[in-house]
Structure 1
Amino acid sequence: MGSGLAQSILSVRDLDVAWGGRQALSVDGLELGAGELLGVIGPNGAGKTTLLRALAGLIRPQRGQITLDGADVQRLGPRQVARLVGYLPQVRSLNEDLTVAELVARGLLPMEAMSAAESRRAVREALELCGIAELRDRRLSQMSGGEGQKAWIAFAIVRRPKVLLLDEPTSHLDYRHQMEVLKLVCRLCSEGVAAVVALHDLWLATRYCHRLLVLDRGRPVAVGPAESVLDTELLRGVFGVEAVAASLPSGGRAWLPAAPSGPTTVEGGDGRERLRERGARR
């Protein structure tokens, strides 16, 4: 599962995570290089969020090792991990009366004492990098979904972490804002940040990620560039969909789900369930 890049920022060895007495995640040999964008895809319940939380040091695994910039995550304190990792969960809770600048400044809390001037400079640089410097005094409650997502990414990168972990950062956004958010992540990667992004949209994953990790029931099914990982058999087996490949101007392919695959059950007029081929007419 190696990235093939010279400098490995993150590595996972023999990782097992359990929830409620059952195996929730099992990953071995995953590596991420500086400047790389890894997309994690898979159906609901595949283990994407569990993987991100483990990488962020928020879940203690049954066994295995996660190494960040050469250090074992389990041997680091929360503040040390927070300096290395910027993590954005899918669900967040914070006072929306905060301004953008106030939100981003809170991202500096894990850092050692900084002067007021240093804090202001760090916030300004994060806002500029995310292209929202002009929104610094706007309240979160007054922002669009795309603007708000950029503000949260600025919050995650204000500490200048080595690794950025984003759990479905494009959910509930229209296509333009989804693309803007992922272009921003690509820009951060071009500056050396390594990013792991959980995504549901196969087209976005194919378009923006250097490599894809496909998870199913807590285990890796495939990892590599999209063109060598995605095919009709994998999409049918993992996602339960029939998909078609569309050519991209860049010369690559994007996979578009066309219809569910396999049999499903429908309720007849007499209340009994009957098998029906998915995608078939009623």
Structure 2
Amino acid sequence: MGRGYFLDKDVLVDKDWDIYLVYSNVNPYGYVYAMLKYTYTGKGLWRGYERVLKYYGVKNMVRLNQEFSMEPCNGVTFPILKLSRVFKHLKPEEKVTELIRRSPKSMQEAIFLDVYTALGVTEVGVTGSLLVGINHSKSDLDVVVYGCKNALDVMSNFNGFEEDKEWVIETSRNYGLSIDHSRQLYDKRMRGLIKGVKFSILFVDPRPQRPCKDVCKRRGEITIKAELESGDCKALFYPSEVPLYNVNILSGETKLRPKILVSYEGIYSALLFSSRKIEAKGMLVECERPIIVVGDRDVPGYIRRVL
């Protein structure tokens, strides 16, 4: 892509050699939305690095020992990395170009080529430990697919490989969900196993976004039932963002009806993509168009499929 801006799933190395994962397409002035993932101790499995962010999810992200910035648009703090601290910017798509041009040096690299072929799209990247070059024999494989059309092509034509049965159990424990609820969230096209290696398919909108200009107000907890248009590629990107229709408020403020659902918990993306009707609990936020946020630090919330 030859880009100079930061995208979701890029990786940054700071001047202390700590490794951060970018989690937003928004490019504010002077810093990047990025969360600390690995730090070097000389003892870690990742060639001396230890994983600081062991599990994803908002509740784990807010505990990170790194700098946070207050964002008036949302009224909460987000983990950041100042541009002055960035030493290296690693781009997933550039790593793929490298892997295609040379012979694989590890099992993960060889398996990536199998996954790349099976996906059937070319605008692809690889992130995580493989992008940084600190992967070990049991490292997961994190593949990035760029753009709405490619995302829809993958979800239509890619059948996945083996089922990752541990994912449902791990998600249930990490998020405090029932096993049945966690099963609703699993999609073999996005998470699975190939030749004993766990893989995930991550979808990224390749367009940079401007920082928001509106100041939104948090109104409190709300639970709703609402209809969606299934098959919306925006459900697959991070954060998921989908329009709501025929909203029925089950609890919370009734004068302000959310028009959009935004999920900062990536585990719900497959469910939002495939559902036509959902029940959701989250934070009601008053913006130009009212939204319900799932993954708020005060109201973590949930999303369940109704239909």
Alignment TM-score, normalising by the size of structure 2: 0.29
Larger radius of gyration: 1
Q: Greater RCO between the two (CA within 8 Å, min separation 6)?
A: 1
